[in-house]
């Protein structure tokens, strides 16, 4: 098992068909103890109950509140004594056109996607530095690379591009501490968030633009998270990994 004796915090992981829960399940299957955090505390507890193995944790965390992020890490340390892996998945999309983005929407999209990534990273890094080990995986998007995706507007692209820049700068700064920081850039993935937003015609048009001829699945993103979190990627840091079926080749 790739993550035996490891512990992981995964944010935004309570959605039944989301990237976070798929990642949590795969990590647990590979021996990790997992903490799922989410705005919905009840859903997080239900998600944890679906994981194989023992010793898992759940809790409410608003990643835009630094105190919540610190409290989540402290709860994990109290229970486990260590945090080896952080996966920053909590995020939102927003489809407004450039001229329709209002200050409140801009702030919300930037805060949840970027500020949350920063706050959770700041919460866990002191402990990882003490132990001189750790892996942080941040969820960006193809939208950050190509200037727009399926659902997100310009402000979403900007937020996810900020996550990419932050990932690379953090990798450079934390490399001497043996803390690896990487990002994943998915394109259209069939999840709870995306599944109900498409008409059959729109879905067909999206699939037609993908060389592999289908949308991605949550377990395929989870597999990449597993690779980056494990010792298989022990010399991988500052990378952005595309999971897009060939829809953006660069």
Residue range 4-18, pLDDT digits in tens: 999 999 999 999 999
Asked if the structure places residue 19 within a domain, the reply is: yes
- Determine the average pLDDT of the residues in 151-167: 94
Residue 149 in this model has a pLDDT that exceeds 70: no
> pLDDT-based confidence at 201, cuts 50/70/90?
confident
pTM over 0.85: yes
Asked if the structure places residue 245 within a domain, the reply is: no
Least confident of 101-115, 122-136, 140-154, 175-189: 140-154
Q: Which residues contact 179 (CB under 8 A, 6 or more apart)?
A: 125, 128, 129, 133, 134, 135, 136
Cα(125)–Cα(55) distance, rounded to whole angstroms?
A: 22
Chain centre to alpha carbon of residue 49: 20
Asked if the structure places residue 109 within a domain, the reply is: yes
Instruction: Using DSSP, state whether 242 is helix, strand or coil.
Output: strand
Asked if the structure places residue 116 within a domain, the reply is: yes
Chain centre to alpha carbon of residue 64: 15
> pLDDT-based confidence at 78, cuts 50/70/90?
very high
Contact 35, 76 (CB under 8 A): yes
**Bigger pLDDT: 123 vs 149:** 123
Look at the chain and report how many structural domains it folds into: 1
Q: Which residues contact 151 (CB under 8 A, 6 or more apart)?
A: 93, 95, 194, 197
- Determine the average pLDDT of the residues in 209-228: 96
Asked if the structure places residue 166 within a domain, the reply is: yes
Asked if the structure places residue 2 within a domain, the reply is: no
Asked if the structure places residue 246 within a domain, the reply is: no
Residue 221: name the closest of 212, 229, 231, 210 by CA.
229
Give the catalytic positions in this structure: 156
- Determine the average pLDDT of the residues in 160-174: 99
> pLDDT-based confidence at 56, cuts 50/70/90?
very high
Give percent of the chain with pLDDT exceeding 90: 87
Provide the residue range defining the domain that includes 119: 7-239
Asked if the structure places residue 141 within a domain, the reply is: yes
Cα(128)–Cα(73) distance, rounded to whole angstroms?
A: 11
Cα(140)–Cα(177) distance, rounded to whole angstroms?
A: 23
Q: Which residues contact 11 (CB under 8 A, 6 or more apart)?
A: 20, 37, 38, 61, 63, 87, 88, 89, 90, 116, 120
Strand order in the sheet with 240-243: 57-60, 33-38, 7-11, 85-88, 134-139, 179-186, 240-243
CATH number where 215 lies: 3.40.50.720
The pLDDT, as a whole number, for residue 193 is 64
The pLDDT, as a whole number, for residue 195 is 58
> pLDDT-based confidence at 152, cuts 50/70/90?
confident
The pLDDT, as a whole number, for residue 194 is 65
């Amino acid at each position: 098992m790739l993550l035996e004796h490891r512990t992981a915090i995964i944010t935004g992981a309570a959605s039944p068909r989301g990237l976070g829960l798929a990642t949590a399940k795969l990590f647990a299957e590979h021996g990790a103890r997992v903490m799922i955090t989410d705005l919905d505390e009840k859903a997080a507890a239900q998600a944890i109950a679906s994981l194989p193995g023992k010793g898992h944790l759940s809790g409410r965390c608003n990643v835009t509140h630094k105190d919540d992020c610190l409290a989540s890490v402290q709860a994990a340390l109290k229970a486990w004594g260590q945090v080896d892996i952080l996966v920053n998945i909590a995020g939102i999309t927003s489809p407004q056109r450039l001229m329709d983005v209002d200050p409140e929407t801009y702030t919300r999209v930037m805060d949840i996607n970027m500020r949350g990534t920063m706050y959770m990273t700041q919460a866990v890094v002191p402990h990882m530095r003490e132990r001189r080990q750790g892996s942080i995986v941040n969820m960006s998007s193809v939208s950050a690379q190509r200037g727009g995706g399926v659902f997100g507007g310009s402000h979403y692209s900007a937020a996810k591009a900020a996550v990419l820049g932050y990932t690379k700068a953090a990798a450079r700064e934390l490399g001497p501490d043996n803390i690896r920081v990487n990002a994943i850039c998915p394109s259209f993935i069939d999840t709870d968030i995306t599944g109900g937003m498409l008409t059959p015609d729109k879905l067909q048009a999206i699939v037609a633009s993908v060389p592999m001829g289908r949308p991605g699945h949550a377990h395929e993103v989870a597999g990449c998270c597993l690779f980056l979190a494990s010792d298989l990627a022990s010399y991988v840091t500052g990378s952005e990994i595309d999971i897009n079926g060939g829809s953006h080749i660069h």
